[in-house]
Chain A
Amino acid sequence: MIRQSWWKILSVLLLLYTFSAGLLIKVPLIGNLYGTIRNLFFHVPMWFGMMVLFIVSVVYAVKYLINPSVTNDIYSTAFAKTGMLYGILGLITGAIWANYTWGEPWSNDPKQLGSAIALLIYAAYFILRNSIPDMDKRARIGAVYNIFACAMLFPTLWIIPRMVESLHPGGQGVEGNPAMAGKDLDPNMRMVFWPAVLGWTLLGIWMTTLKIRFELYREKKLAHA
């Protein structure tokens, strides 16, 4: 899977489609969004990608606890790193979007807070790992914190934004689902949105596999040195 090329080609094609169709198709004019609605194809997929990457990271953390091997640990960390990158990109694209539609880049929206918390948690995860010199112990404790943090984080990311007032869709008293933009998403846009989500997520996985292969190579070199 890691070395196969079909999904990498698919990712490139989907992203080419996202960039061309995403900027060219006719979009509905909603409220004060105007043309910025096209950011949907770039901002929202970042969060989808981040969640997928973090969840895969946790899956490998669980696998590490069941079967402690260096490979599982490398997988887990690499996915967390790329997830972090996607989170930062999501925050930046969101801030730019918010600057034009809500009037300020940061307005303490519950989703903004949630994403900031997510980034802080994973930053703490890397600090924790770096503070433990012993490799096995580092991997084990890192995996435990990864699982614990993720289990605490995701319910709050999914539940709280629905319960409080939010500028994002899906908050209390606002129509739609927080993530999918719900049934009010224009059919034209849907034709671009889901391919964009898939393309960006695959790109994230691709980047991670490169990192993993590099780390595995380094590990092998160390073992034979």
Chain B
Amino acid sequence: MNSLKIISALFKKDLLLEIRQQYSFYGVLLYVASTIFVLFLAMGQPEDAVWNGLFWMIQLFVCVNAVAKSFLQESKGKMLYFYSIAGPRDFILSKLLFNALLMLVMSLLSLALFTILMGNPLRNPLQFVGLATLGGISLSLVFTFLAAIAAKAQQQAALMAILGFPIIIPQLLLLMKISGIAFSSVIQAGLLQMCLLLVGLDFMVIVLSVILFPFLWKD
């Protein structure tokens, strides 16, 4: 009960910081907008498969940028303060929750921008929206934990890409494969299985972060 309170307090703190400073949200938003605009200038309105691939690649880079600073912004003194008032599990859970929310918003916004600028090849838009949210959350969970690891080493952003990209490839491949359904009216075999696998992986990432974060936390 108590830890729920702490998690919600930490979550609220992140949210309030975000609303007051409005730096990272608009920063990432501008990043999304300018990347997609550059893509639009470079590619125009590409074919379905290219559209799909580009969308997920953009999601990947947006996620790295949105999540990377979640541990960077906490200075050493602040971390010590959190250490004294909250457990590591509450701390990582609040971060996971906040980043999932941030990435959810970013995924939907970038999907909207994508359809406006790069054309709309989607036949089943609703399914794709669902997938984009699921994918965004999956990416954010993995990268939140990796940001926690990378924050402990120097060269944050570069290291995060090195650590994260190989790990995320299987999930990204799955997402691209599943999202194929949104482009055609043919139903793919083994779809439910793949969705369940994705959800299972997400669940595993949460469990692993909760188990492993306490070791990263103490210095």
Question: How distant is the Cα of A148 from the Cα of B207 in the complex, in angstroms?
Answer: 10
* CB of B79 closer than 8 Å to a CB of A: no
A210 cross-chain contacts in B, Cβ below 8 A:
none
Complex Cα gap A171–B204 (Å)? 25
Residue A56 lies at the interface, judged by CB distance under 8 Å to chain B: no
Known A-B contacts A124-B163, A137-B152; the reply to A148 vs B145 at CB < 8 A is: yes
- Asked if A144 contacts B215 (CB within 8 A), the reply is yes
- Contacts A152-B201, A159-B197 known; A132 to B174 CB distance under 8 Å? no
CA distance A156 to B170 in the complex (A): 7
Number of interface residues of A (CB under 8 A): 30
Interface residue A164 (Cβ < 8 Å from any Cβ of B): yes
| Residue A10 lies at the interface, judged by CB distance under 8 Å to chain B | no
Residue-by-residue, is B38-73 near A (CB-CB < 8 Å gives 1, otherwise 0)?
000000000000000000000000000000000000
In the assembled complex, B157 has its CB within 8 A of some CB on chain A: no
**Which residue of chain B is the closest to A119 with respect to CB atoms?**
B166
0/1 interface trace, chain A 150-182, chain B, CB 8 Å (1 if under) = 011101100110011000000010000000000
User: Which partner residue on chain A sits nearest B150 by CB separation?
Assistant: A128
List 29 A–B pairs whose Cβ atoms lie within 8 Å, in order of A's numbering.
Answer: A65-B215, A117-B166, A120-B166, A121-B166, A124-B162, A127-B162, A128-B159, A128-B162, A128-B163, A131-B154, A131-B155, A132-B152, A140-B215, A140-B216, A144-B215, A145-B149, A151-B204, A151-B208, A152-B167, A152-B204, A156-B170, A159-B197, A160-B170, A160-B173, A160-B174, A163-B193, A163-B194, A163-B197, A172-B190
A interface list, Cβ under 8 A from B: 65, 113-114, 117, 120-121, 124, 127-128, 131-132, 137, 140-141, 143-145, 147-149, 151-153, 155-156, 159-160, 163-164, 172
| 10 nearest CB pairs, A to B | A120-B166, A156-B170, A121-B166, A131-B153, A124-B162, A132-B153, A144-B212, A124-B163, A152-B167, A141-B152
- Please give 19 more A-B residue pairs, beta carbons under 8 A apart, in addition to A144-B215, A155-B197, A155-B201: A113-B173, A117-B170, A121-B166, A121-B167, A124-B163, A127-B159, A128-B163, A131-B155, A132-B154, A140-B216, A141-B152, A144-B212, A145-B149, A152-B142, A152-B170, A153-B167, A160-B173, A163-B190, A164-B177
